[in-house]
Amino acid sequence: MKEVDGYVCIGKLDDHTILYGPSSEEADKQYQALTTNDFTPFPTHDLAQAALKIIIETNTFQEVIIETIRMSIAEDLNEVDSLSEEALIVLARDAFGWQIFGKYVEGRPSISTLPCGYFQQNGLLPFSDKQRANEAASQILRQGQMKPLLASIKLEKIEE
């Protein structure tokens, strides 16, 4: 089980949201999308705050905030049962990095016949039960030919 615990910067633009952690590729870059840095959050609030300032200066987001993130990623089937039931997401890697899938929301972008939507385009809404997350994972494997992983997620706003 991979545990993720720290801080993320969240940039919001219309119906799209990007979660950022520290850069894993470029030493001079302060931030990188969580889906391309292998789900590594900022270890401290101060580092997230420094990145937040740069994100605000260099992007056109309507809002940028910092939240705490806690994720448990089941890396094999034996670990799925120990995941929390309340807030589940499905992760799948494609040629561009990780894709995060959550609850299907009417009117929000989704993937044709998959029973889910992009987590970062559905308002950061996870699945509310394991059965729906498992159904989505099964269809992602079958239709998308991507190996899915299930994860529990908890994002919490920080009172500043």
pLDDT in tens, 11-44: 999 889 999 999 987 777 889 999 999 999 999 9
* HSE of 133, CA atoms in CB hemisphere, 13 A: 28
H or E segment and range at residue 142:
helix 130-144
Average pLDDT, stretch 41-51? 96
What's the pLDDT at 109?
65
Residues 136, 77 within the same domain: yes
Most confident of the following: 27-31, 112-116, 130-134:
130-134
pLDDT band for 126, please (50, 70, 90 cuts).
Answer: very high
Of 3-7, 41-45, 67-71, 139-143, least confident by mean pLDDT is 139-143
At 66, give phi and psi (nearest 5°).
-115, 135
Q: Among residues 39, 70, 101, which one ends one of the domains?
A: 70
Residues 76, 124 within the same domain: yes
CB-based contacts of 18-27 (< 8 A; 24+ apart in sequence): 18/120, 19/69, 19/120, 20/51, 20/55, 22/47, 22/51
Beta strands in 14-130 (DSSP E): 16-21, 32-33, 63-73, 88-94, 97-102, 117-118
Structural domain that includes position 16: 2-70
At 125, give phi and psi (nearest 5°).
-100, 115
pLDDT at 160 over 70: no
Residues 61, 78 within the same domain: no
Residues 9, 37 within the same domain: yes
pLDDT at 100 over 90: yes
Q: Among residues 70, 92, 120, which one ends one of the domains?
A: 70
**Is the Cβ–Cβ distance between 47 and 86 less than 8 Å?**
no
Tokens 């580092």, residue located: 47
Residues 149, 75 within the same domain: yes
Average pLDDT, stretch 112-131? 87
pLDDT band for 112, please (50, 70, 90 cuts).
Answer: low
What's the pLDDT at 69?
97
Structure tokens at 127: 């699945």
Residues 25, 59 within the same domain: yes
